[in-house]
Amino acid sequence: MYNKFKITSETSLLLYLEPPISIEKQRLCYALNLVIKDMPYIKEVVVGMNTLYVLTSDLNYKDLLDLQSKLNELITSTKPLELSGRLIEIPVDYGGDLGLDLKVIAKTKGMSMSEFAKLHAEPIYDVYFIGFQPGFAYLGGLNEILHTPRLSTPRLKIPAGSVGIGGAQTGIYPYQSPGGWNIIGNTKAKLFDVNSENPSLLKAGDRLKFVINSIKERL
């Protein structure tokens, strides 16, 4: 299941790297993307979280098997790509009316809201890739103590700038949208600006540091 390209349709292959998720494996995915995207028969390569999806032109079964073999050889012969990203600081107001779930999930962890917020803001997170929404960064590095299951019933409307936790992931909603993550705070940082030359504030390979702007109790 892991560490090999699997044929998923007549025109696609998929690679899952073995858990746990790591930035080193993500760098390997980006290195493989650079090698594969210009190969014959390749139409598109999509990098996910320690995964790689390859879309091909129409091939007969033998040619698809040959391509699968070539791709699998690349996994061991390709060196992870060093991503020279920036360190971006994001100020966050934790709790309050826009940190809907902080009080509840902090209590389930036996912590105060302040303790929870400080643990969340402590790491420097790696930006693995951008997806789900324009400017939405998938981050690695959330302290295991803070892992929290997604909401059983997603909310229909999450405000833009909401900082949330879903399972082992934390991230920021760039736009108002439905969402099932536990919302612990909000930032006024603009994650995506369609009018900018570089619309997305964050890019793969960047590092992110949450900075506590305030911690507000919610009644």
Which residues does residue 170 pair with via DSSP β-bridges, in sequence order? 165
Give me the pLDDT at residue 219, please: 55
Q: Quick one: average pLDDT of 159-171?
A: 96
Which pLDDT tens digit goes with each residue over 107-118? 999 999 999 999
Q: Quick one: average pLDDT of 73-84?
A: 91
- CA 3 to mean position of chain CA atoms: 20
Which pLDDT tens digit goes with each residue over 122-157? 999 999 989 888 999 999 999 999 999 999 999 999
Lowest mean pLDDT among 76-85, 86-95, 98-107, 162-171: 76-85
Q: What is the mean pLDDT of the chain?
A: 94
In this structure, how many other beta carbons lie within 10 angstroms of the beta carbon of residue 112?
14
CA dihedral (59, 60, 63, 65) in degrees, to 10, reads 110
Query: Rounded CA gap, 79 and 67, in Å?
Result: 20
Backbone φ and ψ for 99, nearest 5 degrees, come out as: -110, 65
* DSSP assignments along 80-94, one per residue: PP---PPEEEEEEEE
Percent of the chain with pLDDT over 70: 99
Give me the pLDDT at residue 84, please: 78
- The pTM is what? 0.86
Which pLDDT tens digit goes with each residue over 15-62? 999 998 888 999 999 999 999 999 999 999 999 999 999 999 999 999
pLDDT confidence bin for 218, thresholds 50/70/90: low
Give me the pLDDT at residue 156, please: 96
Give the chain's domains with CATH numbers.
5-77 (3.30.1360.40), 87-216 (2.40.100.10)
In this structure, how many other beta carbons lie within 10 angstroms of the beta carbon of residue 109?
14
Percent of the chain with pLDDT over 90: 87
Whether the link from the prior residue into 19 is cis, omega within 30° of 0, is no
Q: How many residues does the chain have?
A: 219
Q: Tell how strand 87-95 and strand 207-216 pair up.
A: parallel
Query: Rounded CA gap, 122 and 145, in Å?
Result: 12
